[in-house]
Amino acid sequence: MTAALKYEWMRIRTIRSTWWLTTIAFLFGTALAFLVSWGISESFKTENAPPAADLKVLAPMIVSHFSGDGAPFFLPYILAMLGVFAWGHEYRHGMIRATLTALPSRNNAWVAKYLVVGVWVVLVILATLLVSALMGWMWLRDDGIDFATYEVGATIVKATTYSLLFTWVATALTSILRHQGAALVLMLLWPLAIENIITLILQVAPGLEDLAPATRFLPYNAGQRILSVRDATGSLFGDPLTPWAGFIVFGAFAAALMAASLLLFQKRDA
């Protein structure tokens, strides 16, 4: 197992796309927090200042880039490409045979990919969100918005968990499809288009309205609820789902895809 981890650690550090994606994710996330915090700070100087009731949730919303309650969390879309490339490069360039020659244990090779990619994504997300919190504090510390709270810490943990699961889903899809391009397209279309189209059809099509509430259990719809800073229901699987329910649904989806990925990796020819 040690050899597999060293192999994957060397691979992820020596691919230029790793550093490009890491830099883009960090700069995008921190710049967004900077701009939003600056805009909110300026609003306090006008008559359009946020109402007092919103002050408590502004800090976690800034840290999570206003995701979970309507807006998508874009950092996982960038960093999940690391998981796509982890398998995609192997099959696209025919390197999988060399990998399995160096690492005869398929189980170890499979586990190492997920662990190394997962650790990298977690570290980048944590660094980005902590700096985002610092950006918010710099602009809003004099406006009554506190960033040293349990809610902000919980938001960072939830956003990191969601990003890890999102990345593992993309990694598993690439392993199953064994096609880098198809996995990238599916990684973007599924959460951003397919589930939204399904939801829209069930909401507007005559006779299907009763099925519309079930769309909250679609995997990416549920996963997005992990990031919510406004828990609008007291029921675990109510409508909308609580963050814990979103974690259960999206976590189960990720686990199922990863299990299928491992089974196929063990059974199929390289």
Average pLDDT, stretch 46-62? 74
Query: In the predicted model, is pLDDT for residue 18 greater than 90?
Result: yes
CA–CA dist 102, 228 (Å, integer): 44
Confidence of residue 134 (pLDDT cuts 50, 70, 90): very high
249 and 184 in contact (C-beta within 8 Å)? no
> What confidence score (pLDDT) does residue 233 get?
59
Map residue 18 onto helix, strand or coil.
helix
219 and 250 in contact (C-beta within 8 Å)? yes
User: Which secondary-structure segment (H or E) carries 118?
Assistant: helix 106-140
Higher-pLDDT residue of 28 and 48 is: 28
If you average pLDDT over every residue of the chain, what do you get? 86
133 to 137, 140, 218: CA distances (angstroms): 6, 10, 30
Alpha-carbon Rg for the chain in angstroms? 20
CA–CA dist 200, 196 (Å, integer): 6
Query: In the predicted model, is pLDDT for residue 126 greater than 70?
Result: yes
In one-letter notation, the amino acid at residue 220 is Y
> What confidence score (pLDDT) does residue 232 get?
56
Query: In the predicted model, is pLDDT for residue 97 greater than 90?
Result: no
Average pLDDT, stretch 129-158? 88
Hunting for tokens 């491992």 — which residue is that?
262
Average pLDDT, stretch 215-228? 88
> What confidence score (pLDDT) does residue 52 get?
58
Higher-pLDDT residue of 155 and 210 is: 155
* 17-26 contacts, C-beta under 8 A, 24 or more apart: 17/81, 17/82, 17/85, 18/82, 18/85, 18/120, 21/78, 21/79, 21/81, 21/82, 22/79, 22/120, 22/124, 24/78, 25/75, 25/78, 25/79, 25/124, 25/125, 25/128, 26/124, 26/127, 26/128, 26/131
Percentage above 70 pLDDT, the chain: 94
CA–CA dist 218, 139 (Å, integer): 37
> What confidence score (pLDDT) does residue 88 get?
82
Closest C-alpha to 131, from 121, 123, 143: 123
Closest C-alpha to 15, from 125, 116, 97: 116
> What confidence score (pLDDT) does residue 69 get?
62
User: Which secondary-structure segment (H or E) carries 57?
Assistant: helix 55-63
Q: How many CA atoms lie within 13 A of 38 on its CB side?
A: 6
Average pLDDT, stretch 238-243? 81
- pLDDT tens-digit profile of 61-83? 888 887 766 678 889 999 999 99
> What confidence score (pLDDT) does residue 160 get?
96
CA–CA dist 108, 100 (Å, integer): 10
- pLDDT tens-digit profile of 166-212? 999 999 999 999 888 889 998 888 888 888 888 888 877 777 777 77
